[in-house]
Structure 1
Amino acid sequence: MDNDELYEHYRFIANEGQAPLRVDKFLMNFIENATRNKIQQAAKAGNILVNEIPVKANYKIKPKDEVKVVLAYPPHENLLVAENLPLDIVYEDQDVIVVNKSPGMVVHPGHGNYSGTLVNGLIHHIENLPNNSSDRPGLVHRIDKDTSGLLVVAKTEHAMVHLSKQFFDKTTERLYYALVWGSVEEDKGTIKGNIGRSLKDRMQMSVFPDGEYGKPAVTHYEVIERFTYVTLVKCRLETGRTHQIRAHFKHIGHTLFNDERYGGNQILKGTTFSKYKQFVDNCFKELPRQALHAKTLGFVHPRSGKYLEFNSELPIDIQNCIEKWRRYSKSSTTE
């Protein structure tokens, strides 16, 4: 389980008449019971952001600056409220539940999403879900808000320990389908490089190939189909880092299609023709998120010891986008 995610605890906007003031002094005026030493420690750890960029304690606040304090734990206790949410349950028994998460659903509360998450729905569906070390009931792994696909959830303490060890030991099977910008040259390949939070933008993850920062990450990929300016790939995760596929493919020059956070919502490959631009815009409208789906999930059942594997269909938005590119690719090669 990755603990790279940061929770927003405070957010302040400097007013238009703000005189230049060190950010540590600025925050002391707003945060009750804060000591300057604690604020300076938070800045040193990269947890104080001004306009989404980490700053030092001596940064001078300017008018209209957005100042955030982000930390590795949720800002409030007892956030979890059971909600009767629609869940696409693929499999369930007394130990585990496998869910096909829809795009747009946040997996667990945090970052301003304190309701409507998968966990809110799970605790309504199942009483007494076991807690993990991060106070996220039942979770042994997660996928991003705008990534769709399969997740396994532990219903008992034994299942939690057993499944967590499998993810830690990298013995689970996780296959993702992704549509990426550009024509991926090799039919098969492996992307290696440590992944850690970007030093420039804390909302992104970056690849550090020399291993000087971040955690080791390995993604194996195989090309399924090429569509002139984009490629459909199958990815097998050897590790499970935050934004792993998104960061790794950007690192090799093939950002995920319509991945706004990593720049994939721009036209990165192709022509300058206005017809092509209109076509890509239509694809973005068809698929208003990054083109990433957790398609296959396999693990050893914590009670029976049997290997279970589940597959999910590509969601209709990804299917429709792929079909558009398929038709475009065929027409452009026959012209």
Structure 2
Amino acid sequence: MIEPPAPEIEDDDVEPADAAVRVVELTAADAGERLDKALAASLPELSRARIQALIAEGRVSRDGQTLGNASGKAAPGAYRILIPAAVPADPQPEAIPLAVLFEDKHLIVVDKPAGMAVHPAPGSESGTLVNALLHHCGDSLSGIGGVARPGIVHRIDKETSGVLAVAKTDTAHQGLARLFAAHDIERLYIAFTRGAPHPARGRIDGAIARSTHDRKKMAIVRSGGRAAVTHYVVERAFGPAEKPLAARLACRLETGRTHQIRVHLASKGAPCLGDPVYGSGQPAAAIREAIAAAGLSRQALHAAVLGFVHPVTGERLTFESPLPADLATLERGLEAL
């Protein structure tokens, strides 16, 4: 099977504390060999396909630099391979309702609710989007993503709501992966933030890697990590004009890294409201009241628009998802300030 390019992903799939780490020392004798082949030869417990998947997921690094090309040439040095804890290998179909925005024989586009993990992982072994898709689509999902992640080309955080495309055939999976790898996907998120970033429109360019202080968090790093770019614009500020208490932002992804928007906005001093990981500092009392009235129990982030060229038919497709009830209620409460 031809391996698709590694897709740009946004994901809450941060490694658990019990993830295993392997360090492999490649020598000058290995130089020039395909990276996946050289590593697989030194790690007989892992198949070459597994090595390829780990590289695609950004879990292989050398000298602190994350590697993303399994077919690239190996170089002498110490390679660090992070192997996530085992997850259920055979997710079961579950009759979970899906909000289907589009479906044909090649792919399906859904509006994922907050609180639903995209695929099984420690702590979310069932009730995931994959479980729901297996019931809805049967055996028609693409197998490239592996047994535990059939059809999954890109992901959004468990507590982020919004539009997600899933491949039903290997051809569609490969085509979508190429679009994500080439950044030829329209992705717009709506975020509600504590305060407002300055300037009101900008580009955040900061490479992202796992935090050296907390393996469950991501952080902007000066060296290593994966390039990440977010374009944002403040659509509306709430509260005093000179010092807004909150804001609604439209964020367009140029890349898609784990927790990218959440990390980037926090770096601007304007974390997503309700974010339990990156939202350090309390919002103003009036904002806390609006959050409570909305029943918001997650980060205020919504994948509102997803657009791409159909990888098989060539048709231009754009899908939009309105704000879910908790964020719509939050916005009304903020407008009353």
Same fold (TM over 0.5): yes
Query: Partner of 1:291 in structure 2?
Result: 300
Q: Which of the pair has more CA radius of gyration?
A: 1
User: Displacement, 1:90?
Assistant: 0.7
- State yes or no: 1:301 paired with 2:317: no
Query: Partner of 1:198 in structure 2?
Result: 211
User: Displacement, 1:267?
Assistant: 1.6
TM-score, reference length from structure 1: 0.73
Query: Partner of 1:319 in structure 2?
Result: 328
Q: Distance in 2 between matches of 1:180 and 1:9?
A: 29
**Contact 2:293 2:330 (C-alpha < 8 Å) held by counterparts:** no
- State yes or no: 1:227 paired with 2:227: no
Per-residue deviation, residues 67-111 of structure 1 (Å, max 9, x unmatched): xxx953451453311111011111111111000000111110002
Query: Partner of 2:122 in structure 1?
Result: 111
Q: Secondary structure at the match of 1:262?
A: coil
Where does 1:94-105 land on structure 2 (aligned, <5 Å)? Answer: 94-105=105-116
**Contact 1:7 1:110 (C-alpha < 8 Å) held by counterparts:** no
**Contact 1:175 1:296 (C-alpha < 8 Å) held by counterparts:** yes
1:160 to 162, 173, 197: 173
Query: Partner of 1:131 in structure 2?
Result: 143
User: Displacement, 1:186?
Assistant: 2.2
Q: Distance in 2 between matches of 1:156 and 1:119?
A: 15
Query: Partner of 1:255 in structure 2?
Result: 271
The residue type paired with residue 306 of structure 1 is E
- State yes or no: 1:216 paired with 2:232: no
Per-residue deviation, residues 2-34 of structure 1 (Å, max 9, x unmatched): 5993554859xxxxxxxxxxxxxxxxxxxxxxx
1:188 to 168, 180, 201: 201
Q: Distance in 2 between matches of 1:240 and 1:311?
A: 18
- State yes or no: 1:280 paired with 2:296: no
Q: CA 1:197 to 1:7, structure 2 compared with 1: closer, same or farther past 3 Å? A: closer
Q: Which has the higher contact order (CA 8 A, sep 6+)?
A: 2
Q: Distance in 2 between matches of 1:148 and 1:204?
A: 20
**Contact 1:90 1:100 (C-alpha < 8 Å) held by counterparts:** yes
Q: Distance in 1 between matches of 2:278 and 2:121?
A: 21
The residue type paired with residue 310 of structure 2 is H
Unaligned runs of 5+ in 2: 1-6, 20-44, 46-58, 60-80, 240-244
1:84 to 89, 95, 99: 95
Q: Distance in 2 between matches of 1:123 and 1:215?
A: 32
Q: Distance in 1 between matches of 2:146 and 2:207?
A: 23
Q: CA 1:205 to 1:285, structure 2 compared with 1: closer, same or farther past 3 Å? A: farther
**Contact 1:7 1:111 (C-alpha < 8 Å) held by counterparts:** no
**Contact 1:97 1:154 (C-alpha < 8 Å) held by counterparts:** yes
The residue type paired with residue 92 of structure 2 is V
Q: Distance in 1 between matches of 2:230 and 2:327?
A: 21
Query: Partner of 2:76 in structure 1?
Result: none
Number of residue pairs matched?
A: 262
TM-score, reference length from structure 2: 0.73
Q: Secondary structure at the match of 1:249?
A: helix
Unaligned runs of 5+ in 1: 12-37, 39-46, 48-69, 271-275, 329-335
The residue type paired with residue 253 of structure 2 is L
